[in-house]
A and B are shown apart, each in its own frame.
Chain A
């Protein structure tokens, strides 16, 4: 049993790394959709942030300027989405998809013209990427059985964005359920007419939500390019924005549930890297392809409604028209 535990720690460690971009994107979607704006453009915003954070971090040699640039790029795309879907009352789904296409083409093109490396940025090193943070007393605690390796190997040794993403879960919960802003955001997604009656601007609230969504997607993209990997690679987000959306539905648009569902998806991704574990501990030979497909199968199962009914915020996807016209 202890052998299994020893094998499980690296898998959980990997889970934490792979869940982080999902969690950040999932919380981003939560802000946007809770306020009534569907966002299929999480993927594109992450990709743009990944590119600009890596490019700027390389050029300035500072990961923090890179992070700022990534977040800025993502917010600009988020505002574009806001402009199309809030101000111009366009179709939110189409606007989101357009942003994804825009990001794929734009990042590859700019990367080519800036660096001439076929859509990559040069590899980042030193101060231009996030280093692993080693928590205090790692060496001493590591000696303690069970708790030691758990603390030293699993909890310690991640980049700051991993801890930030975990801290954002209670913060998001607090904002939504304990602050006036949160109440209003939720109301904008459920009953925008009531919000407007109370004299608060639905358009303003939705813009706030979309900008927060952009910031979080920016963190997710920057984490991928400057934390998880050292540089930008063409289409490096590889569908994570969509998995985050599935996780959001799985979590029924609730912050804590979002954490668990993202960890589950991350765990499945991490597990698919270790087919040897099944053979050693349970003596079953699993096809690698099956393991690889698991996160997607799970997504389909979830979307087919097998995990109970997931009801989106009532006014989500409906452009708000003042006075209820249209």
Chain B
């Protein structure tokens, strides 16, 4: 049997008591304990909470990054946090209100789709601090965190432009929203900067939230890009990414992961990953507890909110020249010498391809 790194599965090899009846007794005791804790907890301290969007907590990408941050906080402080994975749009407001009612503080939302709901809910719970990632909500008890994704996608674009042998690269986005178009635009500009000859093929998986979790369509789009001679495909589609990276590995071409470090999923095939440090946001928000401040934070390359993943899994794919080019572009963007065009400013992309 293969091993994988997810704990608490009934098939995990490290659980010596799996399947035995005696295992149920301490679990029962634990349940009673946690019930008692639930009664006491709200009076003593507020638990932080995190709400994952439809892509699911284990999408190996965007939402999983948030979980990583929450877990890091839990491991370090020994504290407990509340979490929920949404199963449908209807649960969005319900989950938000329930956490606020239970006295959770702060409540972190992972995804731009929460914005409209939060605008309605936030004024009803002035004592609760909300943190929303990827969108801006103006309210005295909401902190909004947005990322300059175009800066990091420019960097992976530079790498793609240098890595391509066919002068054709692709990007498969998730849901067709301005944020993903911004990523695609930054990517195209990076490719163009590194390789003016290169062509960029753009595809989106869909126009609804389902596009974040449609690996089969992602895989077909990747195969169609490979058929159009693309040999590097950037996957910017949340849970759909697993299908894109898989298809790229099957087709023998390179891929680029997003949000989490996805290099390890197919070593030797994933050129790099665009890192979006959602984990740090969740971790810091949890750590700040009820003292979280309102306002808008913009995360970019300069303040460590974004980056590219270089590790042992892609060491063979990134040569010295590519590394130097990425470092140079990184410094130029961080210091402001290069300003990467932001698609959401004018809804246009100046890239030629």
Binding site for B on A (CB under 8 A): 9-11, 13-14, 17-18, 58-59, 61, 113-120, 122-123, 132, 224, 228-231, 233-234, 236, 238, 270, 273-274, 276, 288-289, 292
Contact = CB atoms under 8 A, between A and B. Distances in A.
Given A114-B11, A229-B246, A14 B223 contact: yes
Contact of B265 (A113, A119, A123): A123
A119 B242 contact: no
A233 B213 contact: yes
B285 interface: no
Contacts, number: 85
Contacts of B204: 288
B120 interface: no
A122 B5 CA distance: 10
Contacts of A118: 56-59, 85
B340 to A, nearest CB: 25
Contact of B11 (A10, A115, A120): A115
A236 B228 CA distance: 26
Given A13-B227, A14-B224, A228 B216 contact: yes
Interface of B: 1-2, 4, 6-11, 56-59, 85, 176, 201, 203-204, 206-207, 210, 213-217, 219-221, 223-224, 227-228, 239, 242-243, 246, 250, 265
Contacts of B11: 59, 114-115
B44 to A, nearest CB: 29
Interface of B is mostly: mixed
Nearest to B250: A132
Contacts of B207: 288-289, 292
Given A114-B11, A120-B58, A289-B207, A273 B221 contact: yes
B9 A273 contact: no
A113 B18 CA distance: 13
Contacts of A13: 223, 227
A131 to B, nearest CB: 9
Contacts of B243: 229
B8 to A, nearest CB: 5
Q: Which of A61, A132, A229 has the most CB of B within 10 A?
A: A229
Ranked 7 nearest A-B pairs via Cβ: A10-B227, A118-B58, A118-B56, A116-B9, A117-B58, A122-B4, A118-B57
A137 B203 CA distance: 34
B19 to A, nearest CB: 12
A293 to B, nearest CB: 10
Given A58-B2, A238-B214, A230 B9 contact: no
A116 B11 CA distance: 10
Most buried by B among A58, A117, A238: A117
Nearest to B64: A118
Contacts of B224: 10-11, 14, 270, 273-274
Nearest to A269: B220
B223 A115 contact: no
Contacts of A273: 203, 217, 220-221, 224
Contacts of A288: 176, 204, 207
A231 to B, nearest CB: 7
A123 B7 contact: no
B215 A229 contact: yes
Given A13-B227, A224-B216, 12 more contacts: A9-B227, A14-B223, A14-B224, A17-B220, A18-B220, A120-B58, A122-B6, A229-B215, A229-B246, A234-B56, A273-B203, A273-B224
B246 A114 contact: no
28 contacts: A10-B223, A10-B227, A13-B223, A13-B227, A14-B224, A61-B1, A61-B2, A118-B56, A118-B58, A118-B85, A120-B56, A122-B6, A132-B250, A228-B216, A228-B219, A229-B216, A230-B242, A233-B213, A233-B215, A238-B214, A270-B224, A273-B203, A273-B224, A276-B201, A288-B176, A288-B204, A289-B207, A292-B206
Contacts of A231: 242
Contacts of A233: 213, 215-216, 239, 242
Contacts of A224: 216
Contacts of B203: 273
A113 B10 contact: yes
Contacts of A274: 224
A58 B9 CA distance: 14
B220 A123 contact: no
A14 B226 CA distance: 12
Contacts of B217: 273
Contacts of A117: 6, 58
Contacts of B213: 233-234
